[in-house]
Structure 1
Amino acid sequence: MGDRRWQLLDRPVESTAVHGALTRTGAGGVVLVGAAGVGKTTLARFVTERLTVPVRWAACTESSQAIPLGAFAPWVAPSASRDPIALLSSARENLVAQPDTVIGVDDAHLLDKLSATMLHQIAVDRGARIVATVRNGEAVPDAVTSLWKDGYLERIELQPLSKTQCVTLVETVLGGTLEGLSADVMWESTGGNPLYLRNMVEGAVEAGALTEINGVWQLRGPTAVPSGLVALLDERLARAGEQVLDALKMLALYEPLEIGVLTELVGEDAVDAAEIAGLITIDKDDSPFRARFSHPLLGEVVRQRIGTVNASSRRSRIVAALRDQDLSTAANRIRMARLCVDSDQPIDNDLLITASKDAVALSNLPLGERLARAAMARGGGLPAAELLSRALLWQGRPQEAEEILAAFDPDQLDQLQLVQWGVPRAGLLFWSLGEVERGHELLALVDSRVELPVLRLIVDAARAAMAVHEARVTEGIEAAERVLEDPQSPRQAIDFAAFAAGLAMPVAGRGADFGPIAERSRQQQKTTDGMIRVMVRYGDVLAATMIGDIELAQQHAAEYSEFSSAGQFLGWAIARIAVGVVATYRGRFREAITAFEQALAALNAETSLPWQLPARLLLVRAYATLGDVEEAERVLNEADEHLGAHLALHEPQRMIARAWLAAAQQAKHPAITMARKAADAARSTGQYALEAEALHFATRFGDRTAGSRLSSLSGRIQGPVAQIYARHAAAFANSDADALALVSVQFEDAGLLLAAADAAAQAVPLHERAGQRKPAALAATRARGLAKSCDGATTLAIVAASKPLPITAREREITAHIARGRSNREIAEHLNVSIRTVEGHIYRACQKLDVADREELARLIWGEGTPADETDNEDGAENGAENE
């Protein structure tokens, strides 16, 4: 990660402005103003390195500030006298000895008085052009300030990098993709400051917190602030004084702090001084007002200045000041629990357990683990153990999770404890360890000992989820619905039942029925497990997708993708899978690949998490559709690590993935055979929507036999899409080109663009066999345009229809000019041929394609869009002569 790689990011707008200020006639130069580390020097040197004139750079420091002409000492002749005027003259003469010189001054706010005077004189006299950098918040010599105030130099306020620029810069340096959640954390932590960003990235790599998984870089756990950044921020802290540092140390241990509490702890003067120094900000949108660090990394540096004993003492003082704080919010409970864990104050174990529940409910699993461990160490018993086990499980550490729960004797537990212990342990054995029989046996044990109806509902919900995963879909849905309809059902039972229904109803053809269940989950303010809620949201997106409401699916996928902490990586990963599902159905295959690959990297753990399976199976389809057979094969092979009765629900999807891989290899009959096997497997397990989808894939691969079966299915599958599938199959079986064209439009209206492309492509050979050249060309053009909007996807139908149009290269070129609105005369002049030649080409092309005029010809070949100028060429005369 050398310096040069961190300087690769250009800021085009700012670079152009600086370049203009240094080269434009009459311009005197520019002053770049901004925070420390925002990239002022990097930008200035980036521009000046590309100039063809001499550049003289002076770097100012605090030590040079104490020496007259200290910044420009290298240009003072050794023979110069000690007279200030003679020194100034000597430096200036040497600086501007060559014409058109540019003078660069880094940290011009540190110029000594004589240097500032000389720089001002050069600017006034236009003796040279100047580029200077000035740090925000610093005292600046009057002579420097007047450079922009009096209009001698332009002043450009350099802003932090945008989030997109931050991601581009980091990915350039790392040479790989940066995980979206990690990008969010870096952006929020560094505020777009390039220097902070660089130090954070290098520190994280060095500490092993930023690592690469399958080409995706992801940030996990705390990151150490490197010494270089500590030194930079230490300068600001040293100038602030001990009183301000006292306030910052308090804030570093508990942020944000109410102004009243912080004032009580350190005094008004310290708080005011910290705000004036720009080290803290007061959030006036909150009531009461709260204090925060002006930059997140300041807190990290301040914490490094606090020793263990001092930190414990300070935490105790904060705890005492917050004794009466309102703990009705999860955020306050979590912050108080973290504070108490590290202080020498007694702590309420109920607070620790509740805060751990909050963290798990918010999908922040590492934090939930930490607080649950603290609760267990203080005698938290089964409630703490269950939370700890769940946090470990969701992080891909099921063996540790099992050991925690295995330590309890079920004979010593009451009915409530049996459910608290047995249901999560049975789920752990079933889903994560693949010990299906042991999972069922444990759930049966709990069932046999629990009599209270409200607790039995939790057991029933867990059994429903297991049934769904074992592909007993109808049974699972019925059990889940009974739980959801029972007014006695507690939150845990509702969560589990909604999870089961969310995976089963969409594939069973009841996606619309799941909508109200998902809405109930969205409205429910409290949840027992944030990860279960994330999974329910995934089901919501899947349901909308399967019924063909792609816009609603897209909206929900976007809503569910908001995460704020690196500790929420698993929830973020499942939300990314939902994004990938929608992108796959919309035909945005590159977006889908990015979403799935990032999700899979985030799901990488000590024990492979089962949620990798649905992501991988859809990823195979995305790669195969783009013709990347090698990557599709790789992912399909990786999916084989997830096999067993506990994942039987996904077996039809595995067959569909194999069918798409065969299609990508242009193996038509194996693709059709595998798609039909997938349909049979789906039907046998009650996955009727998936059966219809598999039959439709077979139709798109070239199967003419699926029509009657799809027609019978369409009546039992909710949403309009199954009916379009049936119409497509009927049109293809009947060789009805007009019906295929209508179906293509219906698919496009539904947002299923690749299906629309396939329907249009299948009409092409039908028109050709009927000698209908114009309709064939129109259908081919439509198929190509839709495929292009799907990232250039290739399917069996598109390949079969991709025969070139019966026109010459010159005829195609002329139609491109027509599509761009040029007259025959303009085309002739552009190609250096006669108008009659152009007219002749147009006439012959119209005859070949059976169209009436030039405009219709252009639309037929290029669609409704305007072709790029790539058809233009400079050897038109030669080509024209050849064609004539």
Structure 2
Amino acid sequence: MRPRSREGWESDVRGGPALQTADPTQQRPRWPLAGREAELEQIRAALTSGRGVVLTGERGTGRSALLAAALDRAGDHTALLPSCTLGYLKRLPVTAGNMIGIDDADQLDPDVAAHLHQLVRAERNRVVATVCEDVWAPEGICRLWLDGLAERIEVRPFNHSQIAEVLRARLGAEVDDAAVSGMGMLTAGNAMLLRELTEHAVVEGSLHYTDGVWRWSGLSCADGRLTAVVRMRLGRLTADETELVELVALAGTLCLDAVPGLVDAAESLNRRGVLAVDEASGGVHVRLTVPLCAEVVAAAMPELTARRLRAQLAAAGQLDAGTVTTATSRAPARRPPRANPPLPCASGPHNLTAREREVAEYAAADLTSREIAELLVVSVRTVENHLQRAYGKLGITRRADLAAALAAAGRGGSAGLPRSRNTAS
């Protein structure tokens, strides 16, 4: 099997052209749908029996890829956006027995979901949809599997063998078992994080092909895209929450008695599932639960910030004082990090609105419109509208020119973990 070189990274695993998009500057490598044979067989069986499918799972497990594969194999279907209105759905010429596909069905308006449920019952249509397991889903969607109209299939994170299969299919050669274990541990088998970590590792050279095997030397730095993806998983953070995340990233586990001023931030992060609590004889300790978070935050942290926080941890007895001068214990020989996309202030260059600048910053960091939409909890169309207005104000016509245009307009970048607009000055 021929290995995938860094130069050929943007070509398909079969040697074909890269996945084309409307904007060529948004091209991303096409990842194979490997390691999901069991889920695909469940989908096939459900559709063959005349029922629909609702794919559930945590964010980034690959539900959308399975949905696309199911709809491709089904042939003719009607695709709905989660932002569709009740009037649009009622006017839609859906014939009896037709298949309806909808990604992020948990974002449907409750009335739209209820009408969709009635449509499936009355017209015997089949629905193939995805919902995120950690958010509320409308009753109409839940009733699909509760009433036996659809099979509920949970899409779990990859296990060790699935990670090895996916990496082998994407890279075109065998992958060292230590690399599979290391990348699996950092990403917790999350398909999206595994993809982003792999792409980042190939570009930075930490994932390299030697003696017929791909080997990984570990995460040594974090670019804007990788940091932004982790930031997307964390959600918006206040100044105190950001400080606490950075401290826990460096310490691994942190006793809350050492940071009494951040107890409220810890409670908020624990409520949102970002921090887990471990009871110990020495007090209440917290640790990060978001995969890859500690490694990316530590690797992207500015040197002086890392020194200050490590000194603070050492003074509180949470870190060995002998390591205070090291930037991060996980990456002592890291490269200087690239600037990460800061969240916007109230106004931006060339009279960009706060939202236009926010979207432009993330687009300049190489996030796709869909990823920005998920991060900001808006539709893809809204993201594109903000980008078009930003293009006009900046005097450009392509996404590829955003970074230079923002820099020329005097953008103030901030390295490290992006702060939310709620950050106190």
Bin of the TM-score, shorter chain as denominator length: 0.5 to 0.7
- Whether the aligned pair in 2 keeps the contact of 1:204 and 1:223 (CA below 8 Å) is no
- Whether the aligned pair in 1 keeps the contact of 2:174 and 2:213 (CA below 8 Å) is yes
For 1:154 and 1:285, the matched residues in 2 are separated by 42
- Going from structure 1 to structure 2, the CA distance change for 1:115 and 1:308 (only over 3 Å counts) comes to farther
**Match of residue 50, structure 1, among 46, 53, 73:** 73
- Going from structure 1 to structure 2, the CA distance change for 1:88 and 1:11 (only over 3 Å counts) comes to closer
- Whether the aligned pair in 2 keeps the contact of 1:254 and 1:339 (CA below 8 Å) is no
Secondary structure at 1:115 match in 2: helix
Secondary structure at 2:215 match in 1: strand
- Whether the aligned pair in 2 keeps the contact of 1:247 and 1:274 (CA below 8 Å) is no
TM-score normalized by structure 1? Answer: 0.32
For 1:226 and 1:341, the matched residues in 2 are separated by 20
For 1:121, the equivalent position in structure 2 comes to 118
For 2:292 and 2:123, the matched residues in 1 are separated by 42
- Whether the aligned pair in 1 keeps the contact of 2:159 and 2:189 (CA below 8 Å) is yes
The one-character-per-residue Cα deviations of 1:629-648 (angstroms, maximum 9, x if unpaired) are xxxxxxxxxxxxxxxxxxxx
Unaligned runs of 5+ in 2: 1-8, 13-18, 20-28, 335-425
The one-character-per-residue Cα deviations of 1:486-542 (angstroms, maximum 9, x if unpaired) are xxxxxxxxxxxxxxxxxxxxxxxxxxxxxxxxxxxxxxxxxxxxxxxxxxxxxxxxx
- Going from structure 1 to structure 2, the CA distance change for 1:134 and 1:232 (only over 3 Å counts) comes to farther
AA matched with 2:251: Y
The reply on whether 1:161 has 2:161 as its aligned counterpart is no
For 2:107 and 2:166, the matched residues in 1 are separated by 30
AA matched with 1:6: W
For 1:286 and 1:137, the matched residues in 2 are separated by 32
- Whether the aligned pair in 1 keeps the contact of 2:110 and 2:139 (CA below 8 Å) is no
- Going from structure 1 to structure 2, the CA distance change for 1:291 and 1:126 (only over 3 Å counts) comes to farther
Offset, 1:226: 5.2
- Whether the aligned pair in 1 keeps the contact of 2:97 and 2:123 (CA below 8 Å) is no
- Going from structure 1 to structure 2, the CA distance change for 1:224 and 1:57 (only over 3 Å counts) comes to farther
For 2:147 and 2:241, the matched residues in 1 are separated by 36
For 1:19, the equivalent position in structure 2 comes to 44
- Going from structure 1 to structure 2, the CA distance change for 1:240 and 1:59 (only over 3 Å counts) comes to farther
- Going from structure 1 to structure 2, the CA distance change for 1:224 and 1:316 (only over 3 Å counts) comes to closer
Offset, 1:279: 1.1
Offset, 1:296: 3.5
Unaligned runs of 5+ in 1: 70-83, 326-331, 344-358, 371-884
Secondary structure at 1:178 match in 2: coil
The reply on whether 1:338 has 2:323 as its aligned counterpart is yes
- Whether the aligned pair in 1 keeps the contact of 2:221 and 2:299 (CA below 8 Å) is no
Secondary structure at 2:79 match in 1: strand
- Going from structure 1 to structure 2, the CA distance change for 1:49 and 1:286 (only over 3 Å counts) comes to farther
- Going from structure 1 to structure 2, the CA distance change for 1:265 and 1:301 (only over 3 Å counts) comes to farther
For 1:284 and 1:7, the matched residues in 2 are separated by 42
Offset, 1:130: 0.6
Offset, 1:88: 3.6
The one-character-per-residue Cα deviations of 1:129-177 (angstroms, maximum 9, x if unpaired) are 0111112322323332333344432222211111001011101111112
- Whether the aligned pair in 1 keeps the contact of 2:80 and 2:101 (CA below 8 Å) is yes
For 2:420, the equivalent position in structure 1 comes to none
The one-character-per-residue Cα deviations of 1:448-468 (angstroms, maximum 9, x if unpaired) are xxxxxxxxxxxxxxxxxxxxx
Offset, 1:32: 0.9
Matches within 5 A, 1:97-176: 97=95, 99-176=96-173
- Whether the aligned pair in 1 keeps the contact of 2:303 and 2:327 (CA below 8 Å) is no
For 1:264, the equivalent position in structure 2 comes to 260
Matches within 5 A, 1:611-760: none
**Match of residue 57, structure 2, among 18, 29, 34:** 34
- Whether the aligned pair in 2 keeps the contact of 1:22 and 1:130 (CA below 8 Å) is no
- Whether the aligned pair in 2 keeps the contact of 1:199 and 1:226 (CA below 8 Å) is no
- Whether the aligned pair in 2 keeps the contact of 1:57 and 1:103 (CA below 8 Å) is yes
AA matched with 2:91: S
The one-character-per-residue Cα deviations of 1:781-802 (angstroms, maximum 9, x if unpaired) are xxxxxxxxxxxxxxxxxxxxxx
Secondary structure at 1:205 match in 2: helix
Offset, 1:105: 0.9
- Whether the aligned pair in 1 keeps the contact of 2:61 and 2:191 (CA below 8 Å) is yes
The one-character-per-residue Cα deviations of 1:230-276 (angstroms, maximum 9, x if unpaired) are 43432343445444333212212221223433x52511x22122122
- Going from structure 1 to structure 2, the CA distance change for 1:285 and 1:189 (only over 3 Å counts) comes to farther
Which has the larger strand fraction?
A: 2
- Whether the aligned pair in 2 keeps the contact of 1:33 and 1:40 (CA below 8 Å) is yes
For 1:286 and 1:187, the matched residues in 2 are separated by 31
The one-character-per-residue Cα deviations of 1:382-417 (angstroms, maximum 9, x if unpaired) are xxxxxxxxxxxxxxxxxxxxxxxxxxxxxxxxxxxx
- Whether the aligned pair in 1 keeps the contact of 2:106 and 2:137 (CA below 8 Å) is yes
Secondary structure at 1:177 match in 2: coil
Offset, 1:285: 8.0
For 2:31 and 2:116, the matched residues in 1 are separated by 30
- Whether the aligned pair in 2 keeps the contact of 1:253 and 1:315 (CA below 8 Å) is yes
For 1:230 and 1:55, the matched residues in 2 are separated by 36
For 1:314 and 1:242, the matched residues in 2 are separated by 14
- Going from structure 1 to structure 2, the CA distance change for 1:46 and 1:181 (only over 3 Å counts) comes to same
Secondary structure at 2:158 match in 1: coil
Offset, 1:210: 0.7
For 1:7, the equivalent position in structure 2 comes to 32
- Whether the aligned pair in 2 keeps the contact of 1:5 and 1:172 (CA below 8 Å) is no
Name the % identity: 28
The reply on whether 1:181 has 2:178 as its aligned counterpart is yes
- Going from structure 1 to structure 2, the CA distance change for 1:40 and 1:284 (only over 3 Å counts) comes to farther
For 1:276, the equivalent position in structure 2 comes to 271
For 1:8 and 1:88, the matched residues in 2 are separated by 31
TM-score normalized by structure 2? Answer: 0.64
For 2:202 and 2:165, the matched residues in 1 are separated by 17
- Going from structure 1 to structure 2, the CA distance change for 1:238 and 1:117 (only over 3 Å counts) comes to same
AA matched with 2:63: K
The reply on whether 1:313 has 2:308 as its aligned counterpart is yes
- Going from structure 1 to structure 2, the CA distance change for 1:151 and 1:283 (only over 3 Å counts) comes to farther
Offset, 1:188: 0.5
Q: Which has the higher contact order (CA 8 A, sep 6+)?
A: 2
For 1:225 and 1:126, the matched residues in 2 are separated by 51
Matches within 5 A, 1:788-867: none
AA matched with 2:166: L
- Whether the aligned pair in 2 keeps the contact of 1:253 and 1:339 (CA below 8 Å) is no
Secondary structure at 2:100 match in 1: strand
Offset, 1:11: 1.7
- Going from structure 1 to structure 2, the CA distance change for 1:315 and 1:265 (only over 3 Å counts) comes to farther
**Match of residue 297, structure 1, among 292, 296, 309:** 292
The one-character-per-residue Cα deviations of 1:689-737 (angstroms, maximum 9, x if unpaired) are xxxxxxxxxxxxxxxxxxxxxxxxxxxxxxxxxxxxxxxxxxxxxxxxx
Offset, 1:203: 0.3
Q: May I ask how many residue pairs the two structures share in their alignment?
A: 309
Secondary structure at 1:172 match in 2: helix
Aligned-residue RMSD, C-alpha: 3.1
For 1:203 and 1:341, the matched residues in 2 are separated by 23
The one-character-per-residue Cα deviations of 1:824-874 (angstroms, maximum 9, x if unpaired) are xxxxxxxxxxxxxxxxxxxxxxxxxxxxxxxxxxxxxxxxxxxxxxxxxxx
For 1:144 and 1:225, the matched residues in 2 are separated by 38
AA matched with 1:21: A
For 1:423, the equivalent position in structure 2 comes to none
The one-character-per-residue Cα deviations of 1:461-486 (angstroms, maximum 9, x if unpaired) are xxxxxxxxxxxxxxxxxxxxxxxxxx
For 2:385, the equivalent position in structure 1 comes to none
